[in-house]
Structure 1
């Protein structure tokens, strides 16, 4: 992992804590959260104030998230909003905490100037013991205060001031005035400098969780679904009455996933996606697949340029990855036109050739597609870092070098531009139109021009691969 850290691809943008004042404030918060203090004089923290160095020091890598059920955070500065969120067991937490900081930025800036802010993200589900419990996570409430309870103190002083103003004999109530003065010494002038943090209450329609081996929960599509990495867990949940109305799919059932994506208009072909340079994206995907194959087969890729990779591919023979044929046909179509290549959901190239459509579930669909097209290491790094880091540890050194250098050169320079080019601009929050699929209507059986119209009725045999998104 050293080369990733050196290139800023791992633990990048963490906030460095090295001043005695910050360390002291962090220790006050840590004492309240974990009953411990750190002896470190320098460490790094993420968006939620989690420090991998402190986790290692105290032997608890989940000290801000005990039992995965009560996510807490420590803010020393509003600049934490630019940091990554490590060890996130719920995919939406980073976006929601960033939103909370932005909505309260001026107040948090003032509060963190004097103390650490300690908060919690409450999903209002006390225990997640079965997959059905995940459906209860509908909203997350974020609340915070300083370790010295400045916000609560300010609320108390504000209430005293209102009482003083409203009571006819307030001017003669020495006890009330004394309480106001004592409270003001702690909180300051709340009239000129009001202190108030608005608790954030946020909706959570779609999310991924690391619980139960990894589950994607989709509620915003017309056909809600839970997609499990663990097929056995998915099978055991099938007969649960509290999961009725929710489609359960194993991640390994690629045909079922392809049909579900098509029925709910959740994906689109990269080649025809609006604003996408389909040919450039396909060429890069082919490069990633060839690098993986060459390193596995022990074939030298030289300087790993595109021409060197093509020479390596010529020496692969039967070891040439099966994804290459379909992606090459699509690349020829994108560059030269002609007839649509015929590729169905059983083809290894299928999930490399689509991306999420512009719907509210776009980010989560794209994250799921990285698991179905794992050799696209750029998308894997951008959208699914835990899986990227896990996969990276098993790669050959040559592949590690190639991927690290490529990401440092191509992605780090313009992160947002790369994301927009690959996945499109931010989607509209409007409901998708009621159409049969992202590639239009088609006949059932025979040669299809896109996803079958029968997909919407569920009449397509389970073991029959669907044609699309390019038809034939």
Structure 2
């Protein structure tokens, strides 16, 4: 993992804590949450305040998210909103933390100027005894205060002020007035500088959890589904279609019926040729390492020479992807690709919508040799697999990601997956899909049977 860290591909964009004041504030919050403190004078924290250095020091990488408990957080600065989230067992946690910070930024800026803010993210589900309980997670609530309870003190003063304003005899209540003055010394002027945290509740229509072997819960689509990475954990849940990542045909049909994915070759704004060529490179690099065939420096020329020596061992994904690439760059007859083809899930991407990022994460599991998409959309799985790869493949992957992704993250994401989603409210239903739309259509009907002319584009409309 050291190679990834050195190239900024792991623990990147963390917030550096190196001042005595910040370390002291962090220790006060850490002591209150866990009963422990750090002896480190310098460390880095993520969006939730989790530090890999402190986790290593304490021998507990989940010290802010103990097993079976809610995710806790420590905020030293609102700049943490730009940091990643480490060890997230729920895919929406970082997005919720980011929205919480940006939605309460002025109040949090005021609070963190004098103290650390600590709190927790509550899924409002007391216990998850099995995968069937996951759909109960519908909303996440963020509760927060400083180590000095500034938010609670401000709420107490605000309550007294409301009583003073509304009760008829409060003007003559000397005890209430004295209490208000004393409370104001603790909390400041809450009328001119209110510190009430307003945006604390967040809808969670879709999410992925690391629990139970990895499960996707997708409710925003027309047909809700739960998708299990571990077939042994799969259960039937009322109101959900139950699938596993091994159900390739069923998954392809579900994606098509709900218009959740589209062919890269016909996706709006996608430069399909270079994208498909790069995917071929990833597949060939993996095969070259697995077969012990030298690929030079891992460049395209070396990979093509390695492919020529693979013979019958040439990965089947390459044939389908190469056919798509030729069509994208040269035209001619459009290739027939269905879910039985190993190239199928490499050749599609998620359509715009509330579940877009989650569907792209799912596709990275179904097309695991596309290590760039895997790294971008599913870092927990990427890091886990990275530790199992031979050193040659690790070196190639780290160099490729540093060269072609790290230098322009936003541009690469837009080129691969399209522009970021718009400002539609979370949970709003997606635009209705036309019957039979989606990648390669839903029912397979031959063109001659339908009496239709041959389409000009790939897989028809």
The verdict on a shared fold, with TM-score over 0.5 as the criterion, is yes
| TM-score using structure 1 length | 0.91
1:314 Cα shift?
A: 0.9
1:311 Cα shift?
A: 1.3
1:104 Cα shift?
A: 0.6
2:431 is matched with which residue?
A: 432
Unaligned runs of at least 5 residues, structure 2:
451-456
Aligned ranges 1:55-454 → 2 under 5 Å:
55-234=55-234, 237-238=235-236, 243-427=237-421, 429=424, 430-435=429-434, 436-439=436-439, 444=444
Cα gap change, 1:342 to 1:198, in 2 (>3 Å) = same
1:172 Cα shift?
A: 4.0
1:130 Cα shift?
A: 1.4
Query: Is the CA contact 2:440–2:459 (under 8 Å) kept in the aligned structure 1?
Result: no
Query: Is the CA contact 1:449–1:471 (under 8 Å) kept in the aligned structure 2?
Result: no
Unaligned runs of at least 5 residues, structure 1:
451-467
1:397 Cα shift?
A: 2.1
1:165 Cα shift?
A: 3.6
Which range moves more in the overlay, 388-397 or 426-435?
Answer: 426-435
Distance 1:411 1:262 in 2: 29
Distance 1:282 1:59 in 2: 43
Distance 1:202 1:448 in 2: 50
Distance 1:141 1:172 in 2: 40
1:84 Cα shift?
A: 0.8
Distance 1:185 1:252 in 2: 63
Cα gap change, 1:171 to 1:442, in 2 (>3 Å) = closer
Distance 1:386 1:447 in 2: 43
Per-residue deviation, residues 212-232 of structure 1 (Å, max 9, x unmatched): 100011111111110001112
- Is 1:27 the counterpart of 2:27? The answer is yes
1:272 Cα shift?
A: 0.5
Distance 2:362 2:448 in 1: 25
2:454 is matched with which residue?
A: none
Per-residue deviation, residues 386-438 of structure 1 (Å, max 9, x unmatched): 11111111222222222212211221122111111100113354523232231
Distance 1:469 1:30 in 2: 57
Distance 1:319 1:270 in 2: 26
Which range moves more in the overlay, 302-311 or 203-212?
Answer: 302-311
Distance 1:222 1:340 in 2: 30
Distance 1:220 1:442 in 2: 20
| TM-score using structure 2 length | 0.93
Size of the aligned set, in residue pairs, is 449
Q: Secondary structure at the match of 1:185?
A: helix
Cα gap change, 1:373 to 1:152, in 2 (>3 Å) = same
Q: Secondary structure at the match of 2:197?
A: coil
Q: Secondary structure at the match of 1:39?
A: coil
Per-residue deviation, residues 51-76 of structure 1 (Å, max 9, x unmatched): 12222222322221122431111101
Distance 1:57 1:249 in 2: 41
Distance 1:301 1:84 in 2: 34
- Is 1:470 the counterpart of 2:459? The answer is yes
Which range moves more in the overlay, 322-331 or 56-65?
Answer: 56-65
Distance 2:163 2:143 in 1: 26
Distance 1:3 1:62 in 2: 23
Distance 1:469 1:396 in 2: 38
1:162 Cα shift?
A: 2.9
CA RMSD of superposed structures (Å): 2.1
Query: Is the CA contact 2:119–2:142 (under 8 Å) kept in the aligned structure 1?
Result: yes
2:18 is matched with which residue?
A: 18
Query: Is the CA contact 1:205–1:220 (under 8 Å) kept in the aligned structure 2?
Result: yes
Distance 1:50 1:167 in 2: 46
